[in-house]
Amino acid sequence: MNTPGRIVLIRHGQTDWNREERLQGATDVPLNDAGRQEARALAAHLRGGATPWDVLVSSPLDRAVETARIIGTVLGLELAATCPELVERSFGVHEGSTLAGLEAQARERILAEGEPADAVARRGLAALRRIRAEHPGRNVLVVAHGSLIRLTVSELNGEAHPRVRNCEVVPVRIEALGDERLRHDVSESTAP
């Protein structure tokens, strides 16, 4: 019997910049000890679940790769690939800036100056489609980043997804990845 498999997105564990409410974006910030513990706890939870996980994929940023490797060690999975389209939303010169204590309007201005949300969602969807095509019928864990996950899942589901916590698991609706409208949007974003 052919099954569609599953894909779940996982946000990496905590970093010092997460704790300090600094904007990380595409800056390569490592996990801290709390983030490593979060990854171990999540791995134990996944190991005890009903789904047998087959494949592990990650963003190439260190915090995601380390989270994936911790999970993989517990589940007996090697990191199959890193996918550049899974890198976090870029915030350019604002990366490293603290958002703690800023008024909502100031936060929104800084966030609006980052990589466009629709571009992030398109590359996230392109990554998920490629992962699905490369691992048909498999159960895949994908370790990525909060904004990328939130924006991608919001586009996929057609409604705003809430903020994603460190080491939170967000299931992907596999059937939605075949939606013609979304496929058209992604092909336009990747056209030369």
| Residues 46/140, Cβ–Cβ less than 8 Å | no
Residue of 38, 88, 115, 155 with catalytic role: 88
159 belongs to the catalytic site: no
88 belongs to the catalytic site: yes
- d(CA 76, CA 120) in angstroms, rounded, equals 31
CA-nearest of 109, 13, 108, 149 to 70 is: 13
Q: Looking at 20-105, which runs of residues are DSSP E strands?
A: 55-58, 79-82
- d(CA 65, CA 71) in angstroms, rounded, equals 10
Active site residues: 12, 88
